[in-house]
Amino acid sequence: MIQRSIQCLANGMPTPEALRGALREHDGNCARLRTLGDAYRGRAAIANRTRSPGLPNNRVAHPFARYIVAVTTGYLIGRPATYACPCPETTAPNTGRSGDAGPSRPGGVHPTLQAILENYRRGSIAAVDVENARNAAIYGRGVEYVHVDGAGNPHAAALSPLDAFVVYGDDCDLRPLFGVYRIPSRRADGSLDGWRLWVMNDARTVEYRAADPSGGGLTEVASEPHYFGGVPIVEYWNDEDERGDFEWVLPLIDAYDALQSDRINDKEQFVNALLVLTGCTLETDERGREPWRQLREDKALCLPDSQAKAEYLARQMNEADVEVLRRALAGDIHKLSMVPDLSDESFAANASGVAMRYKLWGLEQLVNAKQRWFIEGLRERLKLMANYMELRGFPRLDVAGVEIGLTRAMPANLLEQAQIAKLARESEAASAETRVRLLHGDGEWTEQEVSAEAKRIQEETNAQT
């Protein structure tokens, strides 16, 4: 996180010195971000290893980083986020899904929220959310740019954390002061032609041209208002340290890559082992073949007497010890990243819901923390959208009162849930809402949908009696 005093602003925008200082600080962290991005994309540290000429140099990279990111991202945002806010004129509960066409049933949703959800649907916001969550899992933070498209509708786009960042105030509120988005400018032939920068505060967007990525030769090109009522670059933090999900176990992944690469090297060296002759020498035969060619073609060796012998010079490999070390490294990677090995035999298809929850307990704690930070980003984006929609004539939306929900993408034991719900009904130990929650609480149903279904069950029961 980059922090600055509000004194570095002039008319709400950073001074050239403050902007260049923020760019340098951001660039100082980019080496770490590139290392994390390379690890995720399979360009691990083992790829740069060198060995003496003539020795095998297998460099095998294992996609542990990609696996960890895929599991945590899918578990967090595998289903679209949900938004619920009653309309001021009615208290009827309802909800909208960011990946659907708006509210799940007509009536009850705040009109401004309904319009925003429709924009979300047209802009495929569910895909943007997944990309933001993935970037947060890789780099420790995702970055999003909220802007207006050609039709005048608000839209959001995920940016690379290497290209964009937000500068916050140095007080306890951490209020965003300005955001920066920087990309290289290319000529028609692809050659570099300086850099383009967009700097945004809570009211305006200023475009600059620069000679280098650090802001040298900074020249203002354009300036225009954006009408979002806040800095339109939103950061999605992965945790309070802004660290990626696999960053803490990256040394273990590198050790695993080195171990497996050396195992393959040892196998290759064993196949190409040197043949040591004792008490004899080999000469060119009558067909003019060199000794090494005789061995390769005849697959046999004739020794002159019983005192002579031939044996391969090879190092003895203890595969059992190496396999123990491999399993230990893999186990530590999964344990310390809190992402279990889902291919393990303990994750059987017939495991009970309680057993599954225990096995996923560490992952649940990790994603719970990620969820809190991610929802903060979703709420900040919603606030920007609501400000823009209010200027277009929509009623004011109390963003703090909007309930934002993320549903876990977890396999459900439907038979077990149905048996529990049936037992609760027969024993009259639970209300209709609780029984519906037992059936659908871990599925795709939201709290509002559970309450509405329980209400319909009660109405049907009253009609029958």
Residue 157 identity (one-letter amino acid) = A
pLDDT at 285: 75
pLDDT, tens digit, for every residue of 239-255? Answer: 999 999 999 999 999 99
pLDDT at 320: 83
pLDDT band at 217 (very low <50, low <70, confident <90, very high): confident
Assigned domain for 156 exists:
yes
Which residues lie closer than 8 Å to 31 by C-beta, 6 or more apart? none
pLDDT, tens digit, for every residue of 127-158? Answer: 999 999 999 999 999 999 999 988 888 999 99
Neighbours of 104 (CB within 10 A): 19
Comparing 311 with 35, which gets the higher pLDDT? Answer: 35
pLDDT at 51: 83
pLDDT, tens digit, for every residue of 93-134? Answer: 344 555 543 333 344 678 899 999 999 999 899 999 999 999
Three-state DSSP at 11 gives: coil
pLDDT at 36: 95
pLDDT at 106: 41
pLDDT at 93: 39
Q: Are residues 242 and 384 in the same domain?
A: yes
Q: Are residues 232 and 276 in the same domain?
A: no
Comparing 342 with 185, which gets the higher pLDDT? Answer: 185
Q: Are residues 234 and 191 in the same domain?
A: yes
pLDDT at 322: 83
Q: What number is the average pLDDT over the span 332-351?
A: 79
Q: What number is the average pLDDT over the span 208-218?
A: 90
pLDDT at 301: 67
In order, the DSSP letters of 245-306 are TTGGGHHHHHHHHHHHHHHHHHHHHHHTPEEEEES------TT---HHHHHHHH-----SST
Assigned domain for 407 exists:
no
pLDDT band at 283 (very low <50, low <70, confident <90, very high): confident
Assigned domain for 406 exists:
no
Q: Are residues 465 and 355 in the same domain?
A: no
Judge contact between 105 and 114, C-beta under 8 A.
Answer: no
pLDDT at 95: 44
Three-state DSSP at 421 gives: helix
Q: Are residues 211 and 298 in the same domain?
A: no
Whether the predicted pLDDT of 163 surpasses 90: yes
pLDDT band at 229 (very low <50, low <70, confident <90, very high): very high
pLDDT, tens digit, for every residue of 49-71? Answer: 888 887 778 888 999 999 999 99
Residues 154 and 166: their CA atoms lie apart, in Å, by 20
Assigned domain for 85 exists:
yes
Q: What number is the average pLDDT over the span 419-448?
A: 62
pLDDT at 417: 60
Assigned domain for 403 exists:
no
Which residues span the domain enclosing 148?
Answer: 2-246+370-391
Assigned domain for 404 exists:
no
pLDDT, tens digit, for every residue of 375-407? Answer: 999 999 999 999 999 999 999 999 998 989 888
pLDDT at 348: 59
Residue 25 identity (one-letter amino acid) = E
Q: Are residues 107 and 234 in the same domain?
A: yes
Q: What number is the average pLDDT over the span 325-338?
A: 92
Residues 309 and 279: their CA atoms lie apart, in Å, by 7
Assigned domain for 74 exists:
yes
Comparing 189 with 319, which gets the higher pLDDT? Answer: 189
Find, among 185, 186, 167, 190, the residue nearest to 177 by Cα: 167
And the tokens for 152? 């005048």
pLDDT at 66: 95
Assigned domain for 405 exists:
no
Whether the predicted pLDDT of 310 surpasses 70: yes
pLDDT band at 91 (very low <50, low <70, confident <90, very high): very low
Comparing 458 with 48, which gets the higher pLDDT? Answer: 48
Q: How many domains does the structure of the chain reveal?
A: 3
pLDDT at 280: 76
Which residues lie closer than 8 Å to 52 by C-beta, 6 or more apart? none
pLDDT band at 223 (very low <50, low <70, confident <90, very high): very high
Q: Are residues 91 and 238 in the same domain?
A: yes
pLDDT band at 207 (very low <50, low <70, confident <90, very high): very high
Q: Are residues 349 and 386 in the same domain?
A: no
Whether the predicted pLDDT of 413 surpasses 60: no
Q: Are residues 317 and 375 in the same domain?
A: no
Q: Are residues 120 and 190 in the same domain?
A: yes
3-state secondary structure 38-73: HHHCCCCHHHHCCCCCCCCCCCCCCCHHHHHHHHHH
Q: Are residues 241 and 256 in the same domain?
A: no
Q: Are residues 85 and 159 in the same domain?
A: yes
Query: With pLDDT > 90 as the criterion, what percentage of the chain qualifies?
Result: 45
**Which residues on adjacent β-strands are paired with residue 96?**
83, 103
